[in-house]
Chains A and B, each alone.
Chain A
Amino acid sequence: QQQVKQSPQSLIVQKGGISIINCAYENTAFDYFPWYQQFPGKGPALLIAIRPDVSEKKEGRFTISFNKSAKQFSLHIMDSQPGDSATYFCAASKGGNNRLAFGKGNQVVVIP
């Protein structure tokens, strides 16, 4: 079964707007929550990650918000740019074992 569920499946955002992608998980043993970014023709690459001891992590225009009680985490892309157009995957793992459970992915399109 899908251990990590992403929504929405796709997103179209105007340049300068905020892109928000949500993920939900069931396994309370998960303790590492990364987001991966994938451009067409490339493999995914780590964008930003969070551990459950903090509720938010920000790197540049990208922010992860984490809600442990709701078992949800989200990616916010502020001031979205056409270069942010990509597929975004959320993921989760437990105990640092590197076996990540991935969501199905969101395609984000930023229009000028």
Chain B
Amino acid sequence: DVKVTQSSRYLVKRTGEKVFLECVQDMDHENMFWYRQDPGLGLRLIYFSYDVKMKEKGDIPEGYSVSREKKERFSLILESASTNQTSMYLCASTSLPGRANTGELFFGEGSRLTVL
């Protein structure tokens, strides 16, 4: 089974702190994504990566950065956390299109971040 692991399920941080959210997948997937989930707003794409050291902005990248130094690991970074970044963060991965790809995204269980 594909496993996407988000190491921190719950975090509480203070305004201005730097926050790292880690995500690891074990299926050798090329594509990895970070989403933010808020009630009434659904899933919004923050950043994604098609390959190591490659990143592309999603729909709401402001206030975030990412790092992908290894294929299996995709990190989301909040350089200076703010209260409006309190949210559930979901990591996902999938294989490249055209390689028996069903388009299925495999999600982690989420990291709930509270910024005080």
Contact = CB atoms under 8 A, between A and B. Distances in A.
A49 B102 CA distance: 9
A99 B42 contact: no
B109 A41 contact: yes
Task: Determine the interface band of chain B, counting residues with CB < 8 A from chain A.
Answer: 20 to 34
Contacts of B44: 102
Interface string A26-46: 000000101010000111111
A66 B103 CA distance: 18
Contacts, number: 60
Contacts of B104: 34, 46, 49
Given A43-B110, A95-B97, A105 B42 contact: yes
The 5 closest A-B pairs by CB, nearest first: A43-B107, A96-B97, A104-B42, A102-B43, A46-B104
Interface of A: 6, 9, 32, 34, 36, 41-46, 49, 89, 93, 95-100, 102-105
